Amino acid sequence: SQELEQSPQSLIVQEGKNLTINCTSSKTLYGLYWYKQKYGEGLIFLMMLQKGGEEKSHEKITAKLDEKKQQSSLHITASQPSHAGIYLCGADGAGGTSYGKLTFGQGTILTVHP
Amino acid sequence: KAGVTQTPRYLIKTRGQQVTLSCSPISGHRSVSWYQQTPGQGLQFLFEYFSETQRNKGNFPGRFSGRQFSNSRSEMNVSTLELGDSALYLCASSTGPSGLSYEQYFGPGTRLTVT
């Protein structure tokens, strides 16, 4: 079965600093999702990457997919306290037969100090 | 468009009881997936429904079941509750007519506590 490993597990940064969160898969990635979660709440969709080399940006958050390395990175530029939360990567490891099933990493807890 | 809604948001049940959780997907979305989130196991896939048919199922005991109605709303049921069933239950919806990757949008979750 597919496993996703996120690094680091937790991150504390000062407001204004840049940061990167990585997600590495044990198997081929057919689709890679990034979500943000506030503790005890639902997941907020950030981005979905499907093609090797694909890069997407939304406001100050950029995600890239390196298909060959079976990994994705999430980069936040000039972090703000509103960026604080748990970042989760999810992967579709079965392509055309995934039928809604995503495997998730354990999450990265981000704290941003003002 | 309204997002994914889940009811109830919080629930306290006693061991041995059963519970039904409800999920209304985003309008136009026909695929609904359910996940269980616990501190120890993280997010785990329960099952997925599309056009009232279960297309995929995770590794959970038969006490966990679900269904989908013709309007795409979905319910999941847990019978004979155990303490270990305490978790945040999340549903997600997508347009996904095929198994290919589609954007999945999650609801706020139902926090179930079993005492």
What tens digit of pLDDT does each residue of A30-58 get? Answer: 789 999 999 889 999 999 998 888 999 98
CA distances in angstroms from B81 to A64, B33, B78, B112, B114, listed in the order given = 41, 21, 6, 10, 7
> Three-state SS string across chain B, please?
CCCCEEECCEEEECCCCCEEEEEECCCCCCEEEEEEEECCCEEEEEEEEECCEEEEECCCCCCEEEEECCCCCEEEEECCCCHHHCEEEEEEEECCCCECCCCCEECCCEEEEEC
Q: Tell whether A33 is within 8 A of chain B (Cβ).
A: yes
Average model confidence (pLDDT) for chain A?
91
Q: Count CA atoms closer than 13 A to A9's CA, side-chain side.
A: 1
Q: How many residues does chain B have?
A: 115
Enumerate the residues of chain A whose CB falls inside 8 A of the CB of residue B90.
42-43
Mean pLDDT of B73-97: 94
Judge: B56–A101 Cβ closer than 8 Å, yes or no.
Answer: yes
- For residue B88, give the chain A residue with the closest CA: A40
Mean pLDDT of A9-13: 97
Enumerate the residues of chain B whose CB falls inside 8 A of the CB of residue A102.
33, 43, 45, 104
Q: Tell whether A93 is within 8 A of chain B (Cβ).
A: no
Percent of chain B with pLDDT over 90: 87
Longest dimension (CA), chain B: 40
Question: What pLDDT digit, counting tens, does each position of B3-32 carry?
Answer: 999 999 999 999 999 999 999 999 999 999
**How many Cβ atoms sit within 10 Å of the Cβ of residue B77?**
13
d(CA B4, CA A42): 10
Judge: A96–B42 Cβ closer than 8 Å, yes or no.
Answer: no
| Residue of A43, A49, A86 to mutate when probing chain B, most B C-beta within 10 A | A43
So what's the pLDDT on residue B99?
58
The C-alpha of A46 sits at a distance from chain B's nearest C-alpha, in angstroms, of 10
- For residue A93, give the chain B residue with the closest CA: B101
